[in-house]
């Protein structure tokens, strides 16, 4: 009986390690991208490097990065963005876990992985004071630390801002500013955005090929995402690094 207990304890330890060892890999990057672990000094990220729970990823001017998490979740950042991997755990055998990504400033395109498909309530994003949930989603989130804009290309987002929660389906978006939410089509929301936000949309749109390439190299990805919606009448796709929502 004692020997069986020891074996079970070792199996539990191995299972825990498998869950906690979850990470994201840099699938693509341009320009200068850094990662900061805790209070340590930022260090340069290169393609193939890993990012883990607690890390903060920073992109410089004219820079971008595409992160592929172990469950297939994609997080692509445009220029002058700051993203913290607040929580990430993944059990590859059960295909379950949890994700919380906090966009401090800048622009991110987020595409659901296995956790999002199997446990939608276990995937959350934060941007300024907003909380975004997913429903098999592919969408953009942009913030300057106060105002938050989101658009959805596939699936749906739940968007909580200033005490109000709405569901945003594909093809639509929302703008959280001045303690209220404005809803509309993706085009209507784009037209209301300040230029720095529009530039960030263009930067994320410019990452479509890089994102598709990263997904193509990941056979466990649940689905190949559609391209993001056309951001506006001028179609400011811009270079891959794109603009910034921070205006820095």
- The answer, yes or no, to whether residue 176 has pLDDT greater than 60, is yes
Q: Where are the domains of the chain?
A: 2-216
Reduced 3-state DSSP string for 212-243 = HHHHHCCCCCCCCCCCCCCCCCCCCCCCCCCC
Q: Which residues contact 209 (CB under 8 A, 6 or more apart)?
A: none
pLDDT digits (tens, 9 = 90+) for 145-160: 999 999 999 999 999 9
- Higher per-residue pLDDT: 184 or 9: 184
pLDDT band at 135 (very low <50, low <70, confident <90, very high): confident
* The pLDDT of residue 59: 98
For the domain made up of 2-216, give the CATH fold: Jelly Rolls (2.60.120)
Pairing relation of β-strands 123-127 and 96-111? parallel
Report the percentage of the chain scoring pLDDT > 90: 75
Distance CA 141, CA 150 (A): 5
pLDDT digits (tens, 9 = 90+) for 196-207: 999 999 999 999
pLDDT band at 230 (very low <50, low <70, confident <90, very high): low
pLDDT digits (tens, 9 = 90+) for 92-128: 999 999 999 999 999 999 999 999 999 999 999 999 9
Neighbouring CB atoms inside 10 A of 27's CB total 20
* The pLDDT of residue 228: 57
Which pTM value belongs to this model? 0.84
């Amino acid at each position: 009986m004692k020997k069986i207990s020891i074996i079970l304890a070792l199996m539990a330890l191995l299972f825990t390690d498998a869950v906690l060892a979850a990470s994201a890999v840099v699938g693509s990057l341009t320009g200068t991208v850094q990662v900061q672990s805790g209070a340590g000094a930022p260090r340069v990220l290169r393609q193939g490097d890993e990012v883990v729970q607690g890390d903060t990823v920073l992109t410089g001017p004219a820079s971008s990065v595409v992160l592929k998490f172990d469950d297939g979740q994609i997080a692509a950042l445009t220029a002058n963005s700051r993203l913290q991997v607040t929580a990430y755990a993944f059990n590859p055998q059960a295909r379950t876990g949890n994700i919380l990504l906090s966009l401090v400033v800048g622009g991110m395109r987020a595409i659901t992985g296995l956790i999002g498909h199997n446990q939608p309530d276990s995937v959350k994003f934060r941007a300024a004071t907003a909380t975004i949930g997913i429903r098999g989603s592919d969408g953009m989130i942009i913030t300057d630390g106060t105002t938050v804009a989101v658009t959805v290309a596939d699936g749906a987002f739940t968007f909580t801002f200033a005490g109000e929660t709405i569901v945003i389906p594909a093809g639509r978006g929302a703008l959280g500013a001045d303690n209220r939410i404005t809803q509309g089509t993706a085009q209507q929301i784009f037209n209301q955005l300040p230029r720095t936000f529009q530039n960030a949309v263009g930067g994320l749109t410019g990452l479509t090929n890089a994102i598709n390439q990263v997904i193509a190299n990941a056979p466990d990805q649940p689905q190949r995402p559609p391209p993001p919606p056309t951001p506006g009448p001028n179609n400011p796709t811009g270079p891959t690094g794109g603009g910034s929502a921070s205006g820095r």
